[in-house]
C-alpha cells in the first residue's frame, strides 16, 4: 500500500518525516510518499533541466504545477532556480496530472493524507479519479466557499498576503503568518522555515492562484465519495470544527474526528495521538 502525504502552505516533505519513520517500524507494508511542490530558491549543483523542483509522486524533480479555476494552464511568474518563468496550473489541473502520475507509478492500493492546503489538493485528487484511491484523510482543510462575495473577499485577502510574501522581511513575515487567528496563537512545532528553503514568487503565486476564492464549492460532489473520507480537525480550531460539522451533516457518511486540546496544526502538536489515528485509518482503508 502507498500513502501520499501532501503538505500545507509553507510546508516541506520533511514535515512528514516523523510519519515515515514511524510507519517504517509499525506498518512496514506501507510505503509513505511525501512529495514537494515548492521550488528551492538556489541549487546550482544540478543541470538547468533538473533545477525546477516541484511535485512528482516520488518526490523527484519535475516541472512546476500550480492553478486556474477551470483547469487551464495560465501564465504565472513561478520561477525555477535559474530564474526562468514557468507555468502555473489550476487545482483541478494539478489533480488531473497528479492522478495520472500516481496511476502510472504503481498498482498498489493508495491513500491520500492532506493537511490544510494539501488537504484541498487531496480533495481535488479524490474527486478527479475516485477509483484510484482507497480513501483520504483530510486534516484541517476547507471544502470551498459557497457565496460569491465571500470568494471575492478571500481572493483579495490572499492577494494581500501574496504581496507580503514578495516584499516583506522574512522573519517578520513568518511572525505575522503564525499570528493568524486560524493558528490560535500557537507556535509552529514544525522545523523553522528558512527563506532559502523557498522561492518567494512561487509562494505568492500559490496564494493567488490556489486561493480558496478560486476553489469550487466541493461539498455536493464529496457526497459521492463520502465513504472514502476521514476528516480530522482539532477541537481548538473553531472555524474548521464548524466546517467539519457542516460536512458531516450535508454529506452524511463522512467520518469525522475531533481531537481534543489540539488546533489547526494538530499532526505536529501531538504526533503520538495523530499517528494512532493514522494507523487506524490506514488499517480501515486498506
Domain boundaries defined on the chain: 2-285
**What is the C-alpha separation between 283 and 73, in angstroms, rounded?**
38
Q: What is the mean pLDDT of residues 184-208?
A: 85
**What is the C-alpha separation between 172 and 45, in angstroms, rounded?**
30
Q: What is the mean pLDDT of residues 142-170?
A: 97
**Composition of the chain by helix, strand, coil, percent to 5:** 50, 15, 35
Cell match 549543483: residue? 45
**What is the C-alpha separation between 137 and 228, in angstroms, rounded?**
9
Give the pLDDT score at 64. 36
Q: How confident is the model at residue 26 (pLDDT cuts 50, 70, 90)?
A: very high
Q: Which of 88-97, 117-126, 139-148, 152-161 has the lowest mean pLDDT?
A: 88-97
Q: What is the mean pLDDT of residues 134-159?
A: 97
Give the pLDDT score at 192. 79
Specify which residues 78 forms β-bridges with: 86
How large is the angle between the packed helices 271-285 and 17-26, nearest 10 degrees?
60
Give the pLDDT score at 74. 36
**109 close to 136: Cβ distance less than 8 angstroms:** no
Per-residue pLDDT tens for 171-194? Answer: 999 999 999 999 987 767 777 789
The contacts of residue 22 (CB under 8 Å, 6+ apart) are 275
Q: What is the mean pLDDT of residues 10-14?
A: 91
Smallest CA-to-CA distance from 195 within 90, 42, 66 is with 42
**What is the C-alpha separation between 197 and 53, in angstroms, rounded?**
11
Q: How confident is the model at residue 38 (pLDDT cuts 50, 70, 90)?
A: low
**211 close to 54: Cβ distance less than 8 angstroms:** no
Fold of 2-285: Rossmann fold (3.40.50)
224 to each of 206, 237, 252, how far by Cα in Å? 28, 27, 10
**3 close to 30: Cβ distance less than 8 angstroms:** yes
Burial of 180 (0-12, 13-18, 19+ CB in 10 A): exposed
Q: How confident is the model at residue 21 (pLDDT cuts 50, 70, 90)?
A: very high
**151 close to 164: Cβ distance less than 8 angstroms:** no
Model pTM score = 0.83
Q: What are the cell numbers at 270?
A: 501531538
Give the pLDDT score at 123. 97
137 has pLDDT over 90: yes
Specify which residues 53 forms β-bridges with: 62
Q: How confident is the model at residue 63 (pLDDT cuts 50, 70, 90)?
A: very low
**What is the C-alpha separation between 3 and 15, in angstroms, rounded?**
15
Q: How confident is the model at residue 88 (pLDDT cuts 50, 70, 90)?
A: low
278 to each of 5, 26, 133, how far by Cα in Å? 11, 11, 16
Amino acid at each position: 500500500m502507498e500513502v501520499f502525504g501532501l503538505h500545507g502552505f509553507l510546508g516541506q516533505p520533511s514535515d512528514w518525516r516523523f510519519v515515515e519513520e514511524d510507519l517504517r517500524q509499525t506498518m512496514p507494508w506501507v510505503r509513505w510518499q511525501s512529495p514537494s511542490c515548492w521550488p528551492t530558491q538556489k541549487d546550482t549543483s544540478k543541470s538547468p533541466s533538473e533545477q525546477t523542483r516541484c511535485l512528482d509522486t516520488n518526490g523527484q524533480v519535475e516541472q512546476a504545477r500550480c492553478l486556474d479555476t477551470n483547469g487551464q494552464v495560465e501564465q504565472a511568474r513561478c520561477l525555477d532556480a535559474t530564474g526562468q518563468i514557468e507555468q502555473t496550473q489550476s487545482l483541478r489541473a494539478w489533480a488531473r496530472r497528479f492522478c495520472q502520475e500516481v496511476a502510472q507509478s504503481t498498482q498498489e492500493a493508495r491513500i491520500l493524507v492532506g493537511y490544510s492546503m494539501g488537504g484541498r489538493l487531496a480533495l481535488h485528487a479524490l474527486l478527479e479519479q475516485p477509483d484510484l484511491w482507497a480513501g483520504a484523510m483530510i486534516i484541517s482543510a476547507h471544502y470551498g466557499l459557497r457565496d460569491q462575495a465571500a470568494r471575492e473577499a478571500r481572493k483579495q485577502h490572499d492577494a494581500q498576503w501574496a504581496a507580503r510574501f514578495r516584499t516583506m522581511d522574512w522573519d517578520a513575515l513568518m511572525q505575522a503568518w503564525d499570528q493568524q487567528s486560524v493558528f490560535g496563537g500557537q507556535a509552529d512545532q514544525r522545523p523553522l522555515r528558512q527563506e532559502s528553503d523557498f522561492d518567494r514568487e512561487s509562494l505568492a503565486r500559490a496564494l493567488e492562484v490556489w486561493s480558496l476564492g478560486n476553489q469550487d464549492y466541493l461539498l455536493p460532489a464529496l457526497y459521492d465519495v463520502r465513504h472514502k473520507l476521514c476528516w480530522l480537525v482539532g477541537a481548538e480550531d473553531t472555524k474548521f470544527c464548524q466546517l467539519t460539522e457542516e460536512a458531516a451533516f450535508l454529506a452524511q457518511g463522512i467520518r469525522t474526528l475531533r481531537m481534543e486540546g489540539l488546533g489547526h496544526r494538530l499532526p505536529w502538536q501531538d504526533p503520538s495521538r495523530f499517528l494512532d489515528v493514522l494507523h487506524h485509518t490506514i488499517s480501515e482503508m486498506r
